[in-house]
Amino acid sequence: MEVLELRTYRDLQYVRGMETLMRSLDARLRAADGSLSAKSFQELKDRMTELLPLSSVLEQYKTDTRTIVRLREEVRNLSGGLATIQEEMGAYGFEDLQQRVVALEARLHACAQKLGCGKLTGVSNPITIRAMGSRFGSWMTDTMAPSVDSRVWYMDGYYKGRRVLEFRTLGDFIKGQNFIQHLLPQPWAGTGHVVYNGSLFYNKYQSNVVVKYHFRSRSVLVQRSLPGAGYNNTFPYSWGGFSDMDFMVDESGLWAVYTTNQNAGNIVVSRLDPHTLEVVRSWDTGYPKRSAGEAFMICGVLYVTNSHLAGAKVYFAYFTNTSSYEYTDVPFHNQYSHISMLDYNPRERALYTWNNGHQVLYNVTLFHVISTAGDP
């Protein structure tokens, strides 16, 4: 409906312009009174040529009318479907209905695990959403939000920042309109923030403390030190920028990527409890963090790029389910030559990137291995 509205407004302006032109032609024809010079005839012919696109505009109106009719029919069908669901719900008691919902959720989760996960085999060409802010920063959507919630959060800079902008939709973010501001009680460090289930998870500046900030209540729900984690540019990615601690969300939950002195500067992956921020389990990947450009998690696998500059590629993969690794060769186009944030969004199956002041998206291709319950 928004597309139709924009198209109608555009075409209305065009039709109004054509109306002025037709009035001018009508006046010329009346003044000619049956006698036209060759020059005047050619001028009128040129003006008539300008009117030719009007027919295609009117044809588009006819097409749009048919589209609206189809939309109206779909709404009727949805209304009928909702009425049927309502009748079926009335046939069950609350406990029975709750059990059906739980069983259905379990089946959907199992199906999603089979169909949703796979091994990264390709990264698309970049899609530039907007050019906004400084060279370093982060932007993201909530990985746990329903599909109708398309809010975008924007955090410019990599240290001592406290201002978070929340845009109502991606379209509003592109246009720079309809946003509210959150002022964090404690400043952030790095660009490895993530929004998960209505809360922002970030590294408190000059510390190894993880902060969970809830947007709706505008308050810190919990904060906790990450045991042994380096901070303040002790173990950053290759580009620096206080990127010692990087938080990520994939299909299986919340993760932290960092390094400790005990691990000799190698990347550590830890699964975090999103409610308490306690470490559930950790893995030592053996990959030196200072040699990594950026990293992201997909389906429990940590993927690491070999650079933040032009020519970068996904070079290393660590599989938490088997505690094993392999070297990979998945190229992607680093269009603006300096990536300071790279995160996977499982809801959209896309990589969010901050690239030299540009907010960029990449789609990913996953190779699925689907097994059935009877498979060995």
79 and 152 housed in the same domain: no
Within its chain, how far is the Cα of 90 from the centroid? 38
Helix (H) / strand (E) containing 300? none
- For 178-233, write each residue's pLDDT tens digit: 999 999 999 999 999 999 999 999 999 999 999 999 999 999 999 999 999 999 99
Q: Is 44 within 8 Å of 30 (Cβ atoms)?
A: no
**Shortest CA distance to 258 belongs to which of 271, 239, 273?**
271
Q: What is the pLDDT of residues 103-157, one digit of tens each?
A: 665 555 545 544 568 899 999 999 999 999 999 999 999 988 887 899 999 999 9
pLDDT digits 0-9 by tens, 156-184: 999 999 999 999 999 999 999 999 999 99
CA distances from 342 to 57, 307, 314, 345 (A): 43, 12, 11, 10
Residue at 106 is within a domain: no
Within-domain flag for 233: yes
Q: Are residues 122 and 81 in the same domain?
A: no
CB of 339 within 8 A of CB of 312? yes
For the chain, helix (H) and strand (E) counts, in that order, are 5, 20
Q: Token pair for residue 217?
A: 């209540």
Task: Check residue 11 and give its pLDDT.
Answer: 62
Domain containing 279 — which CATH number? 2.120.10.30
Task: For residues 331 and 224, state if they share a domain.
Answer: yes
Confidence of residue 376 (pLDDT cuts 50, 70, 90): very low
The first and second tokens of residue 255, run together, are 């993760």
Task: Return the ∠ at Cα 23 (arms to 19 and 25), rounded to 5°.
Answer: 115
Structural domain containing residue 322:
114-367
Name the pTM for this structure. Answer: 0.70
* 161 lies in the same domain as 56: no
375's tokens: 């498979």
Q: Which amino acid is at 199?
A: S
How many CB atoms neighbour CB 358 within 10 A?
19
Better-predicted residue by pLDDT, 166 or 47 = 166
52 and 155 part of one domain: no
Q: Let me know if 243 is exposed, middle or buried by CB neighbors in 10 A (0-12, 13-18, 19+).
A: buried
Residue 176, helix vs strand vs coil:
coil
Distance of CA 19 to the CA centre of its chain: 44
> Could you tell me which residue, 255 or 39, shows the higher pLDDT?
255
